[in-house]
């Protein structure tokens, strides 16, 4: 298992703790320090069964600054924005094989176990 983790985020910490309480030590990817490439982000979206727009954190300043609410922006443009500004990626994301889910709420990850 892998977790795309931000240690400053309470939901991310809770999700990691939930996995660890069940004896799972996932590979921890601190995505703010090591942002995913566009191809990796596309793979995550496929596993999550989400669009790029659905994975965007709309409350971030970058969302407003880059005017990402514009409906004409393509999937590729939104992915590029998340690659360049990883803070825009909703978190945490937990991956197990060909499946992934968002840890919002943290209990969502139990479906991967």
Active site residues: 9
6, 43, 73, 90, 102 from 69: Cα distances, Å: 24, 23, 8, 15, 21
Is the separation of the CB atoms in 95 and 47 below 8 Å?
yes
């Amino acid at each position: 298992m892998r977790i795309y983790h931000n240690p400053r985020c309470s939901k991310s910490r809770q999700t990691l703790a939930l996995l660890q309480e069940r004896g799972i030590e996932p590979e921890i990817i601190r995505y703010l320090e090591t942002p995913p490439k566009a191809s990796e982000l596309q793979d995550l979206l496929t596993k999550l069964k989400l669009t790029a727009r659905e994975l965007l954190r709309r409350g971030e300043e970058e969302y407003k600054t880059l005017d990402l609410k514009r409906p004409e922006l393509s999937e590729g443009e939104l992915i590029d924005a998340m690659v360049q500004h990883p803070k825009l990626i909703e978190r945490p994301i937990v991956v197990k094989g060909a499946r992934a889910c968002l840890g919002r709420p943290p209990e969502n990850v139990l479906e991967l176990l």
